[in-house]
Amino acid sequence: MIGLIMFGAALLLLVIGFPVAFTFGAVSIYFGALAALFELLPDGGVTLADWWDEFLSMFSMMPFRIYSIMTNKILMAVPLFIFMGIVLQKSQLAERLLESMGTLFGKVRGGLAISTVLIGALLAASTGVVGASVVAMGVISLPIMLRHGYDKPLSTGTICAAGTLGQIIPPSIVLIVLADVFQLPVGDLFKAAIWPGMALVGVYILYILVISFLKPEVAPALEPEEGMKYGASVKKALIAIIPPLTLIVLVLGSIFAGIATPTESASLGALGSLILAALYRKLSYKMVKEASLETVKTTSMVFAILVGATAFSMVFIYSGADEIVEHFMTQLPGEKWGFLILSMAIIMFLGFFIDFFEISYIVVPILLPIAQTIGIDPMWFAILIALNLQSSFLTPPFGFSLFYLKGVAPPEVKTTDIYRGVIPFIILQILVLASIVLFPTLYGFHG
């Protein structure tokens, strides 16, 4: 039971607020020492030398694991996509898109909210940085919606939901991480995520249209004189959309067409983001330096979590906890369906408290062998997990998008408004997730 107790201890420390990478490392060493001791106790006469040898043997493969992480070609794409997103964020791409699209859809009931969802999808496909997307839309789009009489919960919920689309729409860091864990081609996983991502966008827009029709006061249309002429609006929107759309086509198109690997496409995206910054007259040595430093910090955090998670998994497997979990999960009623329902429920519950990196590198490796034993399509399972992990950014009380938005929201917007606003979108995410579970063939999966 040491492995299961270790998991609970790590979760408790994370909830308290200890740094993720150091928590996994420290917990692994402490419980690894206990596991080595309990392994030798039945033989009696435990000496310090015996215990030390047993403890070292547990982590004997650690240097090789770390080396393989550092040389992993899939993970090389992570810092490049992060750099691309940060540069585009500093180029004020989101601001340009929001200002032009708002006038384009403003005359429709709920038009400002619909434009926010569409911009969220474009930002997801070009930057993939959830925090940057939510903050940008919170700073620009939220005051405009509130000024035109939009309901606070609907406004805040739309911004949070649109901002988290970067978790499922390629090139998503979550998908790259899951491709590494599942040992699947990144390009194939990107392709598989397109339709679920588009389904989410469609469901969000449909919800906004329905709620605007049933309750016109929550999302009124802009007065004609307040917007630009339609032709001018279209022209302005196209000028704002074409540059990032070109970058999206180059990055994702080169992957889907098989012209370039994800790492090569990420390099192309990083270069393209610098070119766009130059076109927007935002390129400078200071900006590149700041983007590089932020990229190094974020990447270091990711790889530190990876190293800590590797040590954690070694102790977990050594203690035999993985066999306990596998036995329990394979004995569930309903076999495949029982496993899917429980695993999705566990991931969603953990998403209330911890980040997707911890879930991807600690929980998913435990569930993956069981899914393979049952015969579940790994691509389908990976997309279900990715969609589920996206919900972790929205779920109160620790959803990161909620904190991002609250940090930039006007004083009159309360935390309760944001919580109330995201609940319908969480329900919509669960419905889309359920549709992929029940009708996998609609999305191109075998199930």
What span, in angstroms and rounded, lies between the C-alpha atoms of 427 and 166? 18
pLDDT at residue 289, rounded to an integer: 92
Would you say residue 224 has pLDDT above 60? no
Q: Please provide the average confidence, as pLDDT, over all residues in the chain.
A: 82
pLDDT at residue 171, rounded to an integer: 81
Higher pLDDT, 404 or 398: 404
At 174-203, the pLDDT tens digits run 888 888 889 888 888 988 998 999 999 999
- Highest mean pLDDT among 141-155, 180-194, 242-256 belongs to 180-194
Question: Based on the number of CB atoms within 10 Å of its own CB, is 87 exposed (0-12), middle (13-18) or buried (19 or more)?
Answer: buried
At 3-24, the pLDDT tens digits run 788 888 888 887 777 777 788 8
**For residues 396 and 422, is the Cβ–Cβ distance under 8 A?**
yes
Q: Could you tell me what percent of the chain has a pLDDT over 70?
A: 91
Tokens standing for 69?
A: 């992480």
The residue type found at 148 is H
- Highest mean pLDDT among 107-111, 150-154, 346-350, 396-400 belongs to 150-154
Tokens standing for 175?
A: 């998908």
- Highest mean pLDDT among 187-191, 227-231, 406-410 belongs to 187-191
At 201-217, the pLDDT tens digits run 999 999 999 998 888 88
Please state the domain extents for the chain. Answer: 77-298
Lowest mean pLDDT across 52-61, 224-233, 341-350: 224-233
Q: pTM for the whole thing?
A: 0.81
What span, in angstroms and rounded, lies between the C-alpha atoms of 162 and 245? 17
- Tell me the pLDDT band of 226, cut-offs 50, 70 and 90: very low
Would you say residue 291 has pLDDT above 80? yes
How far is CA 2 from each of CA 7, 34, 72, 307, 312, rounded to the nearest angstrom?
9, 8, 31, 20, 12
**For residues 425 and 160, is the Cβ–Cβ distance under 8 A?**
yes
pLDDT at residue 359, rounded to an integer: 82
At 82-117, the pLDDT tens digits run 888 788 778 877 677 766 666 666 677 888 888 888
pLDDT at residue 381, rounded to an integer: 92
Would you say residue 229 has pLDDT above 70? no
